[in-house]
């Protein structure tokens, strides 16, 4: 019975990874949304049309998110002046925890709060972090699930490529 359950677990895990990897968002228009930001303003994705936008879904309890955020902030700082924007979408139920974490990490990019998880559902977010790159026309071009050291190099190549278009 243990072996059967282990095999079923492996099959289910493989299925879950496959379904995450093929979310089907790439090539489609990015769903528009508006959320309250850490500055108190409501920000709408469509207001960034004409820029390359990275949307990063994260949570305070996510270790890889904490590791990735300072690296994303470096990309934001480096490329914001040439038409790149980054929207960090936090899915915690309590925005105070998120505010504390962004203060601790010294993050400068806009952080939006999706406590009701409506936007994360629009983007088919099932695990943390998820990073979505949207081109200047509003089309989802790349979707990344999870984070491991070195992913930022892939992000950098993709951002540069989209900025050149």
| pLDDT band, very low/low/confident/very high, at 24 (cuts 50, 70, 90) | confident
> What pLDDT is recorded for position 25?
85
Residues 6+ apart with CB under 8 A from 59: 65, 90, 91, 92, 128
Mean confidence (pLDDT) of the chain: 87
Residue 90 scores a pLDDT above 50? yes
Average pLDDT over residues 103-125: 95
Average pLDDT over residues 27-51: 95
- Helix-helix angle 95-105:63-79, to 10 degrees: 60
> What pLDDT is recorded for position 16?
32
**Can you give the pTM of this predicted structure?**
0.85
> What pLDDT is recorded for position 23?
55
- Domains in the chain, CATH or no CATH each: 25-164 (3.40.30.10)
């Amino acid at each position: 019975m243990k072996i059967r359950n282990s095999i079923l677990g492996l099959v289910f895990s493989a299925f879950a990874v496959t379904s995450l990897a093929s979310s089907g968002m790439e090539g489609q228009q990015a769903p528009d949304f508006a959320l309250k930001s850490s500055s108190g303003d409501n920000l709408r994705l469509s207001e960034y049309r004409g820029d390359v936008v990275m949307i990063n879904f994260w949570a305070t309890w996510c270790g890889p998110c904490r590791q990735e955020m300072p690296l994303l902030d470096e990309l934001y700082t480096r490329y914001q002046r040439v038409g790149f924007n980054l929207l960090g979408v936090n899915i915690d139920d309590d925005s105070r925890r998120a505010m504390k974490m962004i203060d601790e990490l010294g993050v400068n990019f806009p952080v939006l709060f999706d406590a009701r998880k409506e936007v994360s559902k629009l983007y088919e977010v099932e695990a943390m972090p998820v990073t979505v790159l949207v081109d200047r026309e509003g089309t989802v071009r790349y979707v990344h699930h999870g984070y491991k050291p070195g992913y930022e190099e892939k992000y950098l190549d993709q951002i540069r490529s989209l900025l050149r278009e």
